[in-house]
Amino acid sequence: MTESGIDIPALGLGTYRNTDPETCAASVRTALDVGYRHIDTAEAYGNEEAVGEGLTAADVPRDEVFLATKVLHPKFADGYSRVEIVESARACIDRLDVDGVDLMYGVHWPDGGYEPADTFAACGDIVDEGLAEHIGVCNMTPSQIDTAQDHADVPISVLQVEMHPLLPQRELRSYCADNDITLVAYAPLGNGAVLEVPELVEIGEKYDASAAQISLAWLRAKEVVAIPKASTEAHIRENWASRELELDAADIDAIDNLGVTDRQYDPDYAPAW
């Protein structure tokens, strides 16, 4: 939970690139059995059906799981009108085999056919229809979110972006805190890059923890929700164990001052970060 935005479990399971149906379903079930209560997927990931199967297989009531997905972003959609966005959201719900999701990201990447007026009119329809309780956006800058808010009849409650110790997102964190938006970090382990950072390894030795666990604990200290992707039970449990870590102020400052910017995801259709 964060001070701003909506109440989301602070550690979730990311499913990007978890495309083998059996592996994906098993990882979702395992995560829920371990204790996770936040699962993140997307139309673009091609695994919503498997995620739904994992939800069904787990011995956890649906209303105890915070479930999030994303409509296909306009870069790869055939159409992106108000009607088509709502149809895309309905298809997400059908593939997940649920009545609705807790969070629908109405923008995955703001490119191609993205039009704020149509997009957020559709997001209002998605909430009115009961397909989602909350609306979020991904990969947007503060100015883009301001423009989106001007067109939104429902609050934009969540921003999902890449964030980890090598990309601390200070400006976005400040913006979200000032605008009552929960920040969700994808690639919270820097696509594996944080595992080789000597400072994180050294801090991990102090806590008898891995660099991955230190990174997740640092994000939690920043009141940022993290959704690390994990497909094996060992990694799922390792990430979950990071919840027991409380970094002291000196270690948080050391991570804050790494002075490195290493963005892992910057496609040609990304905004001008």
Catalytic amino acids? 45
- Are 126 and 132 spatial neighbours (Cβ–Cβ below 8 Å)? yes
Q: Which two tokens stand for residue 82?
A: 């108000």
- Are 13 and 38 spatial neighbours (Cβ–Cβ below 8 Å)? yes
Q: How far apart are CA 192 and CA 208, in angstroms?
A: 19
Cα–Cα distances in angstroms (integers) from residue 81 to residues 89, 95, 113, 144, 151, in the given order: 12, 21, 8, 19, 15
Q: Which two tokens stand for residue 7?
A: 């109440």
Q: How far apart are CA 60 and CA 62, in angstroms?
A: 6
Taking alpha carbons only, the member of 35, 162, 22 closest to residue 173 is 162
- Are 231 and 23 spatial neighbours (Cβ–Cβ below 8 Å)? yes
Neighbours of 59 (CB within 10 A): 7
Q: Where are the alpha helices (DSSP H) in 142-210?
A: 142-151, 170-178, 198-207
Q: What are phi and psi of 41, to 5 degrees?
A: -145, -170
Edge-first strand listing for the sheet containing 101-107: 13-14, 38-40, 66-70, 101-107, 132-138, 156-162, 182-186, 225-226
- Are 10 and 187 spatial neighbours (Cβ–Cβ below 8 Å)? no
